[in-house]
Structure 1
Amino acid sequence: MAPSAEPKSFLQHRIVRPRALPAPSRSVKSRVWLTMFAFAAVYAMIATRLVMLGLTETGEASAYISAQDSVAAARPDLVDRNGEILATDIKTASLYAEPRKIIDVDEAIEGLSSVFPDLRNPTVRRRLASDAGFIWLKRELTPGQRQKVHDLGIPGIGFLEENRRFYPGGPTASHVTGIVNVDNEGIAGMELAVDRAWLKDLQAAGFASEEALEPVKLSIDLRAQHVVRDEVRQAMERYRAIAGVGIVLDIKTGEVVAMSSLPDFDPNDRDDALDKNKLNRATAGVYEMGSVFKGFTVAMALDSGKVTVEDSFDATRPIRAGGRTINDFHGKNRILSVPEIFIYSSNIGTVKMMLAAGIEEQQSFLKRVGLTSKLKTELPEVATPLLPKHWRELEAMTISFGHGISVTPMQTAVAAAALLNGGRLIPPTFFPRDQATAEALAEEVVTKRTSAVMRYLFRLNVLSGSGRRAEVPGYLVGGKTGTAEKIENGRYVSNKRRNSFLSAFPMDEPRYVVLVVLDEPKPERQGIGATAGLNAAPTAGAIIRRIAPMLGVLPKFGEGGDTISISY
């Protein structure tokens, strides 16, 4: 019997393999390759187009980006010491063109010139007809101009918003604030000073956003600034002067509280600033200051120890030296004491005081008070003094009464502050400065005793001398007049003068120096003169009368209120 077959296990069952799929036909393969080729072609076309765009529009894109980069950057506000705005940014639109997008150049020029007639010229037409990607047409449009151009609807013409500098006070503080160019970059005054100090670097680093810029506070008091400008302007009209300068300087800190030079300009109108007659005469012009220099000569002689306030000098006869004759304008023709030499403004007596101290002492002293070197301050427009080529006896004589050396009015005010504040020369600043900082910067140039005598002499000159018209009741004004003949064709002319009054108040404890300079003032009326005591002195008095309450200086009345006591 045949053995029975063993049952098959699950694993022993035959595995059924699937049948192989039929090979794709030739037509299917063709469709696959065609699809792949189509995708490749599309991507190739896209890549080619991107390359073409890159090649054809790189110049346009670069020009546009460059234009955006050149759009006027933000600037910090300039404010006065009390937070009043002197300069700020406002938004404005500028007009640009994309010549490649302009359809009809003639039509574009016709439309644009209806708003801006100056755009109808061959240069503009040539630029619009070019293949340029981007060109500026007009910067800083008014809202009305923008609307008119917008209404024209010219293809390829557009606007970019940018910052424009605005000066709310117009010309009030123009020589202090300075101006910016069309790209909002400082080109003069404190605008330029701020750029040089830090703003340019901040902008280059990309950190000068409008939100990040804190206002820059200046030392100027806008109220006092307005008064100084107003009084100098009125004086120019009253005395028919061709120019004028007014300066108010804090004696204790060196802060410039007000500075005006007329004629001035409106910083909102850049073209107005280009007039060469509107330069900053306070710091960028050098002049012979005349008899105000006698204050420095007297201080030099006293501080040398070779002259005392009790001394007297013979002023009976003129001095002849180097072929020149030195005389007094209103000579007393007698022996004069030191106070009399000062209040009568004696050239003869001043020369003899200088000679008693010595030429080397004169040179050393003028250097010490900063009158022979360029003034150091933040304002960029600062001129260098003109000194004599040879500083011999004749030159020293004329320098003693303010001829033969030319300095800036600001230098004169700074040096005078040193004579009156106890003898410390403090560099001037257009930024706020506290007294402790000023003390750290101060250099002693005369003794306290010499300073006390100079305060006495300045006050005496207003009480009894040429400065009487500067008196302001209650404010103990002191000062020195200066009437300097101008030079024409190498010779002094007697009918053209530059008058000055260098003053301070209150003289018992001086707080402020006030300097007024009038260029070529005429007699106020027929039959009187045109010396500094008749025009510059009353102008300084008018300034002091108005600014003293603003600056917190209280008047002093009652017995002894007109004089100051000193010990010498």
Structure 2
Amino acid sequence: MTTETHRRSAIEIARNRLMIGVVLFCFAFLIMIGRTIELGVSAPKPRVTATRQVVTVPEVQIARADIVDRNGEILATNLETASLYAVPKDIKDPQEAARQLVSILPELSYADVEAKLSSGKKFVWLKRKLTPRQKWEVNAIGEPAFQFEREEERIYPHGRLAAHVLGYVDVDGNGLGGVEHFFDAKLGDKSRTSEQLQLSLDIRVQYALADELQAAMRAYQAIGGAGLVMDVSTGEVIAMVSLPDYDPNNVRGVADTEKFNRATKGVYELGSTFKTFTFANALDDGVVSMEDGYDATKPLRISRFLIRDDHPKERYLTVPEIFTFSSNIGTAQMALDIGTERQQEFLGELGLLQPANVELTEVGAPLVPPVWRKSSTMTISYGHGLAVSPLQLASGISAMVNGGRLMTPTLVHNPENWQTGKQVIAPDTSRKIRQLLRMAVTKGTGGRADAVGYRVGGKTGTAEKAIAGGYARKKLISSFMGVFPMDDPQYAVFALLDEPKGTKETFGYRSGGWVAAPVVRNVILRSAPLLGVSPKQEDAGLYQDVALLIEDKKKK
């Protein structure tokens, strides 16, 4: 046998042996698989002697509806977060677990945490609403008894802006203030069909109003402020500000004075802004005409009091002059001609004798004289002796300029269901009031509110602050009620400062015309373009007929 033949024979033998080995290995492997399956199917199941533990976690409120402004800007929404709880009975070393947890969450008390973890209970809350980083660090402790429950945290992206309108929620997501409280059931209803609550606010205008009020408070060292912007045709509140304010994202430690809504809960004697209602009442009832007037030569004596003018002219004044120069003497005589009963009736029709009807629970009740005497009739005619909220004033003034329709103020944007309002004065009376308001700005005490191009009309208001048993002569409530544009009224703008101080720039004056009127002017200049109101060339035709009346009387 040759060498080559021998080599081939050896290779063939090796190949056969290898194939036999592979076959034997596969056969053995199949036997093992079969045996394993047999054991798994036929083996007796062990009896479970331990009872599975079930930890019941308190149900938490989730998926609260968003709140948005009239343009869809989010004002309140929810972010998913986690809350930490523990099963103390499963913790082997409570002291060490408490030490590690407090090192991550230093706001917790070690003694409290250690006591909870040593209690042996089946469930304890440790901290609600952790940040993602805090959750990661707690997980890193590696303690199985530490568990997390999904929750949703209410977030207010604009912080303090519109805090008094929005309100806030508690740790369980229940509304405790503002529209969060008023619409609590609707916002938390999981079966709701609407996913959002759309407010009438325009957050851009809200910022402009808040910014200007804050600047004025600093400039005049006022202790508080309030402001409103209202659509005079619909009653929608476009902006509402109360200062001081708070951050609804963190209400812990916030003082009650900061939560107090001065625009709706606060009631104030608003001074000469009330003359607008007296003039509308008298003109609408035919008590006076624009050609009439009253003698304002000297103060009026009523009982032991004197009614004086802040800017006395000491002569006969026409009806337009009485309004333009803000004469208390002339207005009080007009109120006497109207009569107490009719004055009460008219103010009641305007909603000034009962709390405002608006979507907030923070609403103040007007302060009405216990006995409405002759002196009350006279002083209320120019804004003393009757305290109302800024919202009520803005609503009433809107009716005076929009053709005479009183609209219910609202914080909800609902363009598909506009209200028609209640007719309280004739359209012709409303036209005359617009003329008077415009004159008060162009020729009277409201000159510092004039925003060129926007035909602003308005009325100043200055009143001594009411205190127990009388008035604080050195403490004023200074305000201005403005409307624009007066040839086609669209928006009312109100600003109030509580106890402002005079400055060098105001020559020491702290009345509404000096400190509040400029706030209204600046708000109009900033917000009018946002609201689609274009500036126009000033038109003297709106008030020139009234101005001619004044000139004719002077000549006579």
Q: Which of 174, 179, 184 lines up with 2:163 in the alignment?
A: 174
Cα distance change, pair 247–564 in 1 and its aligned pair in 2 (3 A): farther
Q: Which of 103, 120, 123 in structure 2 is aligned with 1:114? A: 103
Residues 344-368 of structure 1 deviation map (CA, whole Å, 9 limit, x = unaligned): 1111111100000100011001000
State the AA in 2 paired with 1:475: Y
1:328 is aligned to 309
Asked if 1:542 is matched to 2:522, the reply is: yes
User: In the alignment, which residue of structure 2 is the partner of 1:91?
Assistant: 80
Q: Which moved more, 1:424-433 or 1:462-471?
A: 424-433
**Per-residue deviation at 1:118?**
4.2
**Partner of residue 452, structure 1:** 431
Trace 1:85-234 onto structure 2 (pairs within 5 A): 85-120=74-109, 122-196=111-185, 198-200=186-188, 202-203=189-190, 207=191, 214-234=195-215
Q: Which residue identity lines up with residue 266 of structure 1 in the other structure?
A: D
Partner of 2:351: 370
1:509 aligns with 2:488: yes
Q: How does 1:298-309 map to 2 (within 5 A)?
A: 298-309=279-290
Moved more, 309-318 or 548-557: 309-318
- Aligned to 2:161, what secondary structure does the other structure show? helix
Q: Distance in 2 between matches of 1:42 and 1:387?
A: 84
Comparing 406-415 with 142-151, greater Cα deviation is found at 142-151
2:469 corresponds to 1:490: yes
Check the 8 A contact 1:469/1:537 in 2, yes or no.
yes
Once the two structures are TM-superposed, the CA of residue 273 in structure 1 deviates from its matched residue by: 4.4
User: Which residue number in structure 2 is paired with residue 283 of structure 1?
Assistant: 264
Task: Report deviation, 1:560.
Answer: 3.8
Instruction: Give the whole-Å Cα distance in 2 for the aligned partners of 1:423 and 1:249.
Output: 16
> Shift in Å at residue 552 of structure 1?
0.6
Percent identity, aligned pairs only, is 46
Per-residue deviation at 1:435? 8.3
**Counterpart-to-counterpart distance in 2, 1:159 and 1:291:** 60
Looking at structure 2, the residues matched to 319 and 215 of structure 1 have their Cα atoms a distance apart, in angstroms, of 56
CA distance in 2, matches of 1:261, 1:512: 19
Residue of structure 1 aligned with 2:224, choices 232, 243, 258: 243
The offset of 1:433, in angstroms, is 3.4
- CA-to-aligned-CA distance 1:216-264 (integer Å, 9 cap, x gap): 2111111111111111111111222111111000011111111111111
| AA of the residue aligned to 1:106 | Q
For 1:517, the aligned partner's letter is: L
If the length of structure 1 is used for normalisation, what is the TM-score? 0.84
Give me the whole-angstrom Cα distance separating, in 1, the residues matched to 2:454 and 2:545: 15
Pair 1:561–1:173, CA change in 2 (3 A):
farther
Equivalent residue of 2:162, what SS?
helix
Q: What residue is the counterpart of 2:252 in the other structure? A: 271
Match of 2:277 in 1: 296
- Tell whether the 8 Å contact from 1:253 to 1:435 is kept in structure 2 after alignment: no
Task: Give the secondary-structure state (helix, strand or coil) at the position aligned to 1:270.
Answer: coil
1:549, 1:443 → 2: CA distance? 30
- SS of residue paired to 1:230: helix
Is 2:382 the partner of 1:401?
A: yes
Question: Does the Cα contact within 8 Å between 2:168 and 2:175 map onto a contact in 1?
Answer: yes
Deviation of residue 122 (structure 1)? 4.2
CA RMSD in angstroms comes to 2.3
Q: Secondary structure at the match of 1:93?
A: strand
2:297 corresponding residue in structure 1: 316
AA aligned opposite 1:145: Q
Show the counterpart of 2:19: none
Q: Secondary structure at the match of 1:320?
A: strand
Mapped partners of 1:389, 1:493: distance in 2: 21
Instruction: Using the TM superposition, give the Cα deviation of residue 297 of structure 1 relative to its aligned residue in structure 2, in angstroms.
Output: 1.3
Residue 471 of structure 1 aligns to which amino acid in structure 2? D
Q: Judging changes above 3 Å, is the alpha-carbon distance between structure 1 residues 311 and 552 closer, same or farther for their aligned structure 2 residues? A: same
Q: Residue 529 of structure 2: SS of its match in structure 1?
A: helix
**Structure 2 CA distance for partners of 1:292 and 1:426, relative to 1, 3 Å:** same
Q: Matched residues in 2 for 1:352 and 1:534: separation? A: 27
Residue equivalent to 1:6: none
Q: Which amino acid aligns with 1:162?
A: E
Q: 1:478 aligns with which of 433, 442, 457?
A: 457
SS of alignment partner, residue 480 of structure 2: strand
Shift of 1:132: 2.2
- TM superposition shift of 1:156: 1.2
Q: Which residue of 1 aligns with 2:511?
A: 531
Q: Report the Cα offset of residue 76 of structure 1.
A: 1.4
How much does 1:454 deviate? Answer: 0.5
Change (3 A) 1:334 1:435: farther
Check conservation: 1:219, 1:257, Cα contact below 8 A: yes
Deviation (angstroms), 1:116:
2.7
Query: What amino acid is the match of 2:137?
Result: K
Distance (Å, rounded) in 2 between the aligned partners of 1:410 and 1:216: 21
2:318 to 330, 337, 341: 337
- 3-state SS of paired residue (2:160): helix
Q: After the TM superposition, which of the residue ranges 352-361 and 398-407 deviates more from structure 2?
A: 398-407
The 8 Å contact of residues 351 and 401 in structure 1, kept in 2 or not, is answered as yes
Q: CA deviation at 1:215?
A: 2.1
Instruction: Give SS of 1:499's match.
Output: strand
Deviation at 1:312, TM superposition (A): 0.9
Q: Partners in 2 of 1:467 and 1:78 — Cα distance? A: 37
Indicate conservation of the 8 Å contact 2:246/2:258, yes or no: no
- Contact 1:110-1:120 within 8 A present in 2 as well: no
d(CA) in 2 for partners of 1:115 and 1:525?
54
Structure 1: which 5+ runs fail to align?
1-40
Q: Which residue of structure 2 aligns with residue 22 of structure 1?
A: none
Structure 2 gap segments, 5+ residues each: 1-43, 550-556
Q: Deviations over 1:38-72 (max 9, x none)?
A: xxx999x75x865xx6xxx5xx63x32xx2x12x3
In structure 2, C-alpha distance between the alignment counterparts of 1:100 and 1:409, rounded to whole Å: 58
CA deviations 1:63-102 (Å, max 9, x no partner) are 32xx2x12x3111111111111111111111111111111
Q: Give the CA deviation at 1:121.
A: 5.0
Q: Which amino acid aligns with 1:360?
A: E
Measured in 2, the distance between the counterparts of 1:174 and 1:308 equals: 45
SS in 2 for 1:550: coil
Question: 1:564 offset after TM fit, Å?
Answer: 6.9
1:75–1:213 contact (8 Å) kept in structure 2:
no
Deviation at 1:292, TM superposition (A): 0.7
Q: Distance in 2 between matches of 1:80 and 1:338?
A: 42
Q: In the superposition, relative to structure 1, how do residues 562 and 295 fare at CA in structure 2: closer, same or farther (>3 Å)?
A: closer
Q: Is the 8 A contact 2:244 2:257 kept in 1?
A: no
Kindly provide the CA deviation profile for residues 495-549 of structure 1, in whole angstroms up to 9, marking residues without a partner as x: 2111110010000110000011111111131743111111100110000011111
Question: For the structure 1 residues 536 and 378, does the alpha-carbon distance in structure 2 shift closer, same or farther, using more than 3 Å as the test?
Answer: same
Cα distance between partner residues in 2 of 1:560 and 1:331: 26
